[in-house]
Chain A
Amino acid sequence: MAIECLVLGAGQEVGKSCVVATIGGKRVMFDCGMHMGYHDRRHYPDFARALAAWGVPDFTSALACVVITHFHLDHIGALPYFTEVCGYHGPIYMTYPTKALAPFMLEDYRKVTMDQRGEAEQYSYEDILRCMKKVIPLDLKQTVQVDKDLVIRAYYAGHVLGAAMIYAKVGDAAMVYTGDYNMTPDRHLGAAQIDRLKLDLLITESTYAKTIRDSKHAREREFLKAVHKCVSGGGKVLIPTFALGRAQELCMLLDDYWERMNLKIPIYFSAGLTIQANMYYKMLIGWTSQKIKDSHAVHNPFDFKHVCHFERSFINNPGPCVLFATPGMISGGFSLEAFKKWAPSNKNLITLPGYCVAGTVGHKLMSGKPTRIDLDKDTHIDVRCQIHQLAFSPHTDSKGIMDLTEFLSPKHVILVHGEKPQMAFLKERIESELGIPCFYPANNESVSIPTTDNLKMSTTERFITSCAAEQGKQSLRKRNLIHGTGTSEVNGCDEAAVEGVILMEKHKAPKILCEDELAQVLGMERHLVQFEALGSSGIEEAVELEFKRAEAADLGSDGK
């Protein structure tokens, strides 16, 4: 058997994550994202081309299921298009938080693109709702039988609320698709967590394939310092974020700091969106970090004390403030509007996320120190404000990727969601340091991974217990009761090998027996064979004698 892996998006780039893996004949689509840097047909994965290659009439019969890892648009943005326009009607899985929060992200973005560019509508609000209705929610660690052969399971990925890594298995072939993940806990989320699974393939993100980050604390302090400096100088702070995820984390950070420093400067959210999102966060508190879970009976950390009511006109008000505005990479919407207003003043501060997709204003600001941004032919913005790039990202760094890969020790690795040169670097490391073959296909390329197969056989109780006795010199069953966590507990892997006999009879399934059981079944007899050194002990002379005699006999015969 093999796993055939077709990368439809996020191959040697970041954006429109979408991988179709064919495991034992079952096609599973992992993520269905959009690329925010493009507004032509490169906006979505090339579904039609894939369909043509599969040679099936429609997507529903082509795919066993679609699994979405988290609510970021580069992972879910194409889903309404795929279901409502391309006509996929099969099962779609995502975690509870993703199902609850994704409509916000989709609708927010849909509005932004429509308002800004007047693009032809790809899908409507109703499409989003219809699409989300079809989604089957997943809980973490829950083993879901998609069909007779295909099993999937979600593991905690950190990154954003509800982000999951997905395990998929058909027969003996198994793989994990990580989506985006974070190996260190942040203010509101825990670190990624997965069992030690037996995998043929690991598909991992590699946003920071080459970067190793320092302590989170220092980075948070830097951010707070920059914000505090700006507002105490009477400046305005613009924090472009998406409604969910980073907004909540940074707000927790600021709310806490405001409390400690006794600051009275208003913190705003540009849309009711984020405020409503906070209510979802309260219901989904079970998906945050352990620390928050343990303490939330007393105080829900998503009840922000210093966040004030906001109206759009406030961006013209004088005086310092902090504003969270969507979208995150200043690709349009209210964050662009505020940017236009505030960028020309050197008192103000704009924070930028750790990563911005090419083509966005955020990306332009990140590359070098531009003093002017050309939005289009006629619109130019002078940039005199301070720029603070947030050095903390909800993605794992290169050490984290290596750690996860080593922990899982899959037979093969595929890198996606990264930039080509960095991916090449990481591939080298994985192959040389971990000895695991690694690939990083470009979009629309596919990689075939061989998988190991097992034969199923029956065996007798005697064989099993004798193995146990041989291996542990103790009954396997009572062996010290090594309790494992999760599904991957391995027990009794002492190095001692065991012996048995396989009996193969025509028209019967083969069966493994102990030696004496076979003797009994087939009516065979046992004959002891002993191996001794030729020159051993007392027989030496006798043997010597025999040889002499034989030689003599040979000579004799020669003589004749």
Chain B
Amino acid sequence: MKLTCLSTTGGGGSYHSPASHLLELEGLRFLLDCPIDLTALADFSPVPLTGDAGGLIRAVPRYLSPAAAAAAKVGGIDAVLVSSATGVLGLPFLARLPGFAHTKIYVTEVAARTGKLMMGELVEMHREFVRYYGPDTGELPRWMEGEKLNELLSMLEKAVTVDKGDDLTSLMPLYSPGNIEECMQKIQPVKYGEEVCFNGIFTLKASSSGLELGNSVWTIKGPRASITYLPSSVFVSAHALDFDYSSLKENDVILFSDLSSLNDMDVDNDKLDEHAMDETEHSLCRRSVLRDDGADVDEKIAFLCNNDDIKEEIERISYICSCIIDAIKSGGSVLIPIGRLGVILLLLELISEMLHSSSIKVPIFMVSETAEEIIAFTNALPEWLCKSRQEKLFSGEALFDHVDLLKEGKLFLFPHLHSKDLIAAWKEPCIVLCPHWSLRLGPAVHLLRRWHADKRCLLVLEQGSDAELCLKPFMPLAIQVLECSFLSGLRTEKIDTLLGVLKPKFVMLPEGLKSRCSVKGRPWSFLYYSKGKTIELPNLQEDFEVHLGTDVAHRLQPRKLNETTAVARLRAKLHVSSGQYQLAAAEKQSDQSKRHLLHWDAVDPDRLLPALQEKGMVCSFAADDDSSGERSVLITSPGEALVKITSDRTVIYCDDERTSGHIFDALSRVCNGI
């Protein structure tokens, strides 16, 4: 088993850009997630251009080629396991590679659907650049040549966390709708808990990770090891089905790929942007911590599944809502370019509730290509929702409040800012939810241009990307900026307890968490991975398990070699299905003119004679030309045969199958062999 970490986290934090790995198992190559890294996008100026654009590149943006593309070029990829909609977004870059031609992509139905919408929307928003500058012909753009590039490089290196290894010239044009379609064709959508068989010997199963609708943890069961691929997970969610950790118990290896806590550390240290308002107080003190190592399983589970995280999340979102209300009250509009489905759904519910209780009537607009479809389908997927929302189905209520908001005319959905009906419905102040969090694409760019100088207005930004760089093309700013972080994965304090419940043998942990997870006295061993490196885990077990049909077993003819050992020859057909090797009965033995006799004692012609006679055969030694060391035994009854024996070979000349069978049998008895 080999693991290569292809990327840790790109622009936008672990939610928008989860880690990506290459896992090699039994000679097959699995790609685990393939996000798009939008880091480079920040260096391009949004269109239409206004002012000096802060020195940003004025061209059709290019995007960092996913590390998986290189892996696909080198050794091909047999299968892709995707854990979230964001983990699909980089795949169209691989669509045309020969090493990707026969690849199968496994992803939950919901993540596939959301992912497809997100990719479509990205391409659509990107098109705005193409309309402005003309198409990216695929040739090296001017800004990537010579002097100009060097100039940019120095600026970018300062501003963007482009790794040293990434060559800026490896930036490539965005994929096309055709590429997306090609990718979608390779997708096999799955449900939570559905076991799919890959290549006969692997069983793959997605279970919910709790972070987002359709996000999943994967179990890969191979013939000799079971592996958990554990991306960012949330124990209790306010919208998605809870983290189904119990389905991961006792898998041999855990690939721990929840890198959200690595970001957390940065967040804690980060100073807030000068335009930002004070962030919610950290309520660390209220978080319960399980200190006792001797806690039993129930206590551990209670600790893992307490509501602290989700309570905090709701508090955070409520705080955002109160800021929104303040802005509205002062007459300003609110722009929310947040790209998290779960947060959007919760925000809609909480804002409308707060607007209602403060008896404020302002319209909420969702302006996005995908808004209509997202809103429709989120109310039609009860199986993917948290238990409390499932209860709504069983009691006949709508799954999310947005159904009523739409009906009551409080929420409006439009595909674009220039949609026909938008003008008619448009009223300010208003609350707008729209893409894109990078502030380079989508309606957010235009709305921020409209409101950036109004100090009554509010911009709600997600933490995770460089706010200063994000806001650069909109300077000078008067609009208030609220930067928020959201629940993105496991808290580090819970990792050890989780491992205690899951009981793995090995844990692959990001290097960055090395100091934060105790090794002492734990029954599992840690292996640490870091970006670009390959770590190897020897086989946990040398042998494979096969299932032997009872019909095959009944036909076995064991031979006892001594008091403690017996052996039997086996002739069967090997079938592989549902991750199982099955030996089934083979038809009649085919004619064999040669076979090997495995023997313990010497093949002694002198003992063969009595053995044959015992079987009622009439036989004798023929005159030998002893020089060659060859002895011949002549059988005359029943049937005729001649047996020539040397130290390493016996030839049985006989026309009658039964007789030759008897002779072989006698021979094997003599030498204690089979």
Which residues of A pack against B, CB within 8 Å?
96, 99-100, 132, 137, 139-144, 172, 198, 276, 279-280, 282-286, 296-297, 300, 452-461, 463-464, 467-468, 471, 475-479, 481-507, 511-512, 515, 518-519, 522-536, 539, 543, 546-547, 549-550, 553
Contact = CB atoms under 8 A, between A and B. Distances in A.
B641 A534 contact: yes
11 contacts: A100-B382, A284-B393, A452-B551, A484-B200, A486-B196, A491-B576, A503-B565, A532-B651, A547-B640, A549-B622, A553-B620
Contacts of A485: 188, 196
Given A297-B373, A497-B572, A501-B598, A460 B542 contact: yes
Given A464-B544, A477-B27, A532-B653, A498 B372 contact: no
Contacts of A96: 382-383, 390, 393
Interface stretch (B260-268, B346-354, B418-426, B580-588): B580-588
Contacts of B655: 533-535
A286 B582 CA distance: 36
Contact of A497 (B195, B549, B586): B586
A142 B582 CA distance: 24
A467 B574 CA distance: 7
A534 B197 contact: no
B1 interface: no
A476 B602 CA distance: 37
Contact of B194 (A142, A286, A489, A543): A142
B383 A286 contact: yes
Given A461-B542, A506-B564, A547-B636, 13 more contacts: A137-B390, A461-B544, A477-B201, A478-B27, A481-B199, A483-B199, A489-B578, A491-B199, A491-B200, A501-B568, A503-B567, A519-B598, A531-B652
A23 to B, nearest CB: 17
Contact of B564 (A99, A463, A505, A550): A505
Interface in B637-674: 640-642, 648-655, 660, 664, 667, 671, 673-674
Contacts of B596: 515, 526-529
A42 to B, nearest CB: 32
A459 B541 CA distance: 11
A504 B558 contact: yes
A512 B583 CA distance: 11
B594 A492 contact: no
B102 to A, nearest CB: 5
A322 B199 CA distance: 55
Nearest to B596: A526
Closest 3 CB pairs of A and B: A491-B200, A497-B586, A142-B193
A454 B548 contact: yes
Contacts of A519: 598
A487 B197 contact: yes
Contacts of B549: 452, 454
B622 A546 contact: yes
Contacts of A530: 593-594, 649-652
A321 B632 CA distance: 103
Nearest to B569: A501
Contact of B565 (A140, A300, A464, A506): A506
B547 A488 contact: no
B200 A502 contact: no
Contacts of B587: 495, 497
A528 to B, nearest CB: 5
A287 to B, nearest CB: 9
A484 B548 contact: no
A140 B104 CA distance: 21
B598 A525 contact: yes
Counting chain A CB atoms within 10 Å of each CB, which of B547, B569, B596, B636 scores highest?
Answer: B596
Contacts of A511: 543
Interface residues of B, number: 107
Contacts of A484: 197, 200
B623 interface: yes
Given A528-B594, A546-B634, A490 B568 contact: no
B570 interface: yes
Count chain B CB atoms within 10 A of each CB in A282, A297, A471, A495 and give the residue with the most.
Answer: A297
Given A143-B194, A476-B576, A489 B660 contact: no
B380 A284 contact: yes
A527 B597 contact: yes
B547 A456 contact: yes
Contacts of A491: 199-201, 575-577
A527 B565 contact: no
B357 interface: no
Nearest to B603: A527
Contacts of B558: 502, 504
Nearest to A300: B376
**Of residues B201, B574, B589, which shows the largest number of chain A Cβ atoms within 10 Å of its Cβ?**
B574
Contacts of A276: 396
A542 to B, nearest CB: 9
Contacts of B542: 460-461
Interface string B588-616: 01101111111110010000000000000
B285 interface: no
Contacts of A476: 200-201, 576
Contact of A532 (B373, B565, B652): B652
Contact of A454 (B381, B547, B556): B547
Nearest to A297: B373
Contact of B573 (A285, A452, A495, A528): A495
Contact of A453 (B78, B104, B197, B550): B550
Given A455-B547, A458-B545, A529 B667 contact: yes
Contacts of A296: 376, 380
B565 A499 contact: no
Contacts of A535: 655
B650 to A, nearest CB: 5
Contacts of B191: 139-142
A492 B574 contact: yes
B550 A452 contact: yes
A531 B620 contact: no
B379 interface: yes
B547 A286 contact: no
Contacts of B26: 477
B383 A489 contact: no
B571 interface: yes
A487 B195 contact: yes
A278 B203 CA distance: 38
Contacts of A460: 542-544
B563 to A, nearest CB: 8
Contact of B567 (A137, A286, A502): A502
A469 to B, nearest CB: 11
B205 interface: yes
A492 to B, nearest CB: 5
Contact of B393 (A100, A198, A297, A471): A100
Contact of B660 (A139, A481, A527, A531): A531
Given A460-B542, A464-B544, A530-B593, A539 B653 contact: yes
Residue in A453, A497, A529 with the greatest tally of chain B CB atoms within 10 Å = A529
Contacts of A457: 545-548
Contact of A550 (B381, B548, B622, B650): B622
Interface centre among B598, B632, B652, B664 (most CB of A within 10 A): B598
Contacts of A471: 573-574
Nearest to A551: B636
Contacts of B302: none
B540 interface: no
A99 B203 CA distance: 29
Interface in B19-65: 26-28
A139 B193 contact: yes
A490 B573 contact: no
Contact of B197 (A486, A503, A524, A547): A486
Nearest to B28: A477
Contacts of A475: 27
Contacts of B572: 497-498
A135 to B, nearest CB: 9
